[in-house]
Chain A
């Protein structure tokens, strides 16, 4: 079945450091891939998405490229800020709209 494996946290970085959060997936078809962010006490917000192989999703300085050959969708940001501290979830969705989420990676950025 479909599944998402996400890098375990927590991750602690200094401000302006480079961020990578790894995500790999298993799917039977051709899923869309997503990164969601959850700030403390809030629901999930869509950060970025990619719907087909080699697509790059980007938003707020974050990027992720849909790599079919490595079944990966790693999240990157060149220079993190304190305000990026949150939990990040990788997810996939195939036809029928059911989502499969990774376990989440907690990021803390210290000044």
Chain B
């Protein structure tokens, strides 16, 4: 299957700082990328869907000004957690899809810990 990478795999930051997480599709052009959040021992919660070159669509309850998503190219999407707080600590997973492919390819996830 296709390969999706995430960077960094783990990040620890101080409260109030911003953190950027990158999601790259390595061997295909991802027209759509998805960002999920996973709390311990829970399922994935879709945060937003981004299509290349357009604004992301956020799920209800997700603050778009706090979780900035950029999908500037067909191989890269970024999630920036602005002014992070301890309650933002979580496992963030991206996935990538393409038109005509009814499968998403998941990145390995980024574990964020805000102190």
Contact = CB atoms under 8 A, between A and B. Distances in A.
Contacts of A44: 44, 93, 95, 106
Interface residues of B, number: 23
B93 A97 contact: no
A97 B102 contact: yes
Nearest to B4: A43
A43 B43 contact: no
Interface in B88-115: 93, 95, 97, 101-109, 111
Per DSSP, are chain A's interface residues mostly helix, strand or loop, or mixed? strand
Contact of A42 (B43, B46, B105, B109): B109
B67 interface: no
Given A43-B106, A45-B106, A98 B46 contact: yes
- Of B43, B93, B111, chain A has the most CB atoms within 10 Å of the CB of B43
A103 B43 contact: yes
A98 B79 CA distance: 18
Nearest to B105: A46
A99 interface: yes
A43 B108 contact: yes
Contacts of B103: 32, 34, 46, 49, 93
B9 to A, nearest CB: 9
Contacts of B34: 97-99
B60 interface: no
Contacts of B43: 89, 101-104
A58 interface: no
Interface in A56-90: 89
B102 A51 contact: yes
B44 A101 contact: yes
9 contacts: A34-B103, A36-B106, A43-B107, A44-B93, A89-B44, A98-B46, A99-B104, A101-B44, A102-B43
Given A44-B93, A46-B106, A106-B41, 14 more contacts: A43-B107, A43-B108, A44-B44, A46-B1, A46-B103, A46-B105, A89-B43, A93-B103, A95-B102, A99-B95, A99-B104, A101-B44, A103-B43, A104-B42
